[in-house]
Amino acid sequence: MTSTVSANGLLAGDLPVLTRKDFVSDQEVRWCPGCGDYSILAQMQKMLPELHVAKENIVFISGIGCSSRFPYYVETYGFHSIHGRALTIASGLKTARPELKVFVVTGDGDGLSIGGNHLLHAMRRNIDLTVVLFNNRIYGLTKGQFSPTSEFGKVTKSSPYGTTEQPLNPIRIALAAGATFVARSVDRDTKHLEETLFKAAQHKGISFVEVYQNCNIFNDGAYAAFAEKDVRQERMLFLEDGKPMRFGNNREHGIRLNGFTPEVVHDAESDDGLIVHDATMANPLLANILVGMDYPNYPVPIGVFRSVEAPTYDELVQKQVDAAKAKEKPDFDALLRSGETWEVS
């Protein structure tokens, strides 16, 4: 038995050492066999014991979609809500109960389409939530319509002639809304995914993780061109804080800046001139440059784009309440009598 204060400041008194199994619920998992969601669930369950937060203080909240079944499978408190609104419920819960560790599980339709507004506002408030957005670039649960992240021209059930609209980039949205922790990972790279989820969960303030998730039924191979094991090193750029940006099977290529435009330096012998990643810069300029890099013109950046400290909404609200209580002893009878009163005898 150990007593630990986690990064989130939760005091977990006499916390038994938990393992992955402790976070597996008795519910049968009902995603399609081969779905990327399984990997995300597994990495989450592996990561959770590392937080040293008691199970009863952890809550998973989701909206609607394949991803939103997630809470049923994690043995913590869970709330499977309505389409797009998970963040609103999570915001209320966290504001009322700042001591809880609250996760939000959402998808590209749930989080960026019907619930897009809430994502922006939770981010600008910097409310202490960990948001994991499963981006499969399709509507899976409703059986295959295009989503707000589907690529232009995509042929789906609801776009037999191809879509006529441009996709959103979730990372760009998060940066624009002022999220204090912004990261990307991919279902196929389990180690990277687990690490990224851990970093996100440790962050104080809003943490946003976009996970490239394969829907093998309605959008199979959406990320295969760069995320499969054999091509990953060549086609993805693993962001590492304080390190020059390098990629390739032998990390032989680099990225440098030409003005505001990133350039690939093939077979860069020296690190001189290569961008050194720094997610902690107050100004999100670098992150905003990186977010524009995409396959096949560039390797796809993956990892932590931004990680900065700022006061959280829930903590500021609590402080106001505590300060008000300290300043004036609450006296309801006096409150009722505030202003003009008169006696009738």
Partner 1 sequence: MVSNGLMTTEMHSPPEHVVEELDRVTIRFAGDSGDGMQLTGTQFTRTTAVFGNDIATLPDYPAEIRAPTGSLPGVSGFQLSFSSSDIRTPGDQPDVLVAMNPAALKTNLGDLVPGGLLIVDEDEFNPANLKKAAYTSNPLEDGSLRGFQVVAIHITRQNELALEGLPLNAAGKFKSRNFYALGLILWLYGRPLDTTVKWAEERFGRSPETLDANLRALYAGHAFGETTEVFHTRYEVAPATVRPGTYRHISGNEATALGFVAASILSGLPLFYGSYPITPASDVLHELSKLKSFGVKTFQAEDEIAAIGAAIGAAYGGHLALTGTSGPGLALKSEALNLAVMTELPLVVIDVQRAGPSTGMPTKTEQSDLLQAMFGRNGDSAVAIVAPCTPADCFMMAIEAFRLALKYMVPVVFLSDGYLGNGSEPWRIPSLSDIPKLDWEYAKPVEGWQPYLRNPETGARTWAVPGQKGLEHRIGGLEKSGQNGDISYDPRNHHEMTLARMGKVANMTRDIPPLEVSGPSEGELLVLGWGGTYGAISSAVEAARSQGKSVASAHLRYLNPFPANIESVLRSYKKVLIPELNTGQLSLLIRGMFLVDAVPFNKISGQPFKIREIQGKIDEVLGLRGPYVLDFPQGSALSGG
Determine whether 219 is exposed, middle or buried from the number of CB atoms within 10 Å of its CB (0-12, 13-18, 19+).
buried
Residues 136-165 that bind ligand SF4 (CB under 6 A): 136, 140
Any contact of residue 21 with partner 1 (CB under 8 A)? Answer: no
Q: Write the CB contacts of 47 (distance below 8 Å, at least 6 apart in sequence).
A: 194, 197, 198, 201
Contact with partner 1 (CB under 8 A) among 20, 46, 55, 243: 55
233, 247 contact by CB (below 8 A):
yes
Structure tokens at 246: 């390098």
**At 258, is the secondary structure helix, strand, or coil?**
strand
CB of residue 88 to ligand SF4, shortest distance in Å = 23
262 binds, among partner 1, ligand SF4, none (CB under 5 to 8 A by kind): none
Beta strand pairing call for 11-15 and 2-5: antiparallel
148, 112 contact by CB (below 8 A):
yes
Residues 203-262 that bind ligand SF4 (CB under 6 A): 215-218
Q: Taken in order 102, 312, 111, 225, is the CA torsion positive or negative?
A: negative
Any contact of residue 255 with partner 1 (CB under 8 A)? Answer: no
Q: What is the DSSP string of 102-146?
A: EEEEEEHHIIIIITHHHHHHHHHHT-S-EEEEEE-SSBTTTTSB-
Any contact of residue 48 with ligand SF4 (CB under 6 A)? Answer: no
Q: How far apart are CA 154 and CA 146, in angstroms?
A: 7
Contacts with partner 1, 90-129, as mask; x by CB under 8 A: xxxxxxxx-xx----------------xx-xx--------
Any contact of residue 38 with partner 1 (CB under 8 A)? Answer: no
Any contact of residue 176 with partner 1 (CB under 8 A)? Answer: no
Any contact of residue 316 with partner 1 (CB under 8 A)? Answer: no
Beta strand pairing call for 181-186 and 300-307: antiparallel
Size of the site for partner 1 (CB under 8 A): 60
Any contact of residue 344 with partner 1 (CB under 8 A)? Answer: yes
- Of 44, 144, 154, 156, give the one whose Cα is nearest residue 101: 44
Any contact of residue 29 with ligand SF4 (CB under 6 A)? Answer: no
Contact with ligand SF4 (CB under 6 A) among 29, 32, 289, 316: 32
Contact with ligand SF4 (CB under 6 A) among 66, 100, 102, 255: 66
Closer to ligand SF4 by Cβ: residue 104 or 308: 104
Q: How far apart are CA 220 and CA 266, in angstroms?
A: 31
Contact with partner 1 (CB under 8 A) among 20, 29, 79, 252: 79
Would you tell me how many other CB atoms lie within 10 Å of the CB of residue 69? 19
Any contact of residue 302 with ligand SF4 (CB under 6 A)? Answer: no
Q: How far apart are CA 114 and CA 65, in angstroms?
A: 11
Chain-centroid distance of CA 302 in Å reads 13
CB of residue 216 to ligand SF4, shortest distance in Å = 5
CB of residue 205 to ligand SF4, shortest distance in Å = 29
Any contact of residue 42 with ligand SF4 (CB under 6 A)? Answer: no
Binding site residues, ligand SF4, CB under 6 A: 31-32, 35, 37, 66, 136, 140, 215-218
The contact set with partner 1 (CB under 8 A) reads 25, 27, 54-59, 61, 64, 71-72, 75-82, 85, 87-97, 99-100, 117-118, 120-121, 317, 320-321, 323-325, 327-330, 332-333, 335-337, 339-345
